[in-house]
Amino acid sequence: RSPRPLLLCLRELQPPPPLPSVTGLFAYLECEGPMPRARIDTAGGAEWLTLDQPDNVRITGRSGALELQCGALPAPLRVRVEYEAEGRRLRAIEVLP
């Protein structure tokens, strides 16, 4: 008995739309409440973004891990962040020079 041939139908998928982003200073990490939140100070005011999956936030622009403690950051980081609009969930941090 010969094995059945495998038939795969592959189709081209469109890339997902880009996530919304903001650029500013990552100045504060709030740890009260059910999930931590990052405050990004922008030219238009403070943006609060939820860290619902801290281990899955993509970090670029610096080598190694980004270790943060709750409260004001001793040296705010200039960043560009991407987030999911629904729930304002942080998904990527690019540390800028």
Q: What is the pLDDT of residues 32-68, one digit of tens each?
A: 999 999 999 999 999 999 999 988 899 999 877 788 8
Grouping H, G, I as helix, E, B as strand and the rest as coil, residue 88 is helix
Look up the pTM and report it: 0.80
Residue ranges of domains in the chain: 21-95
Q: Is the dihedral of CA 45, 51, 52, 58 positive or negative?
A: positive
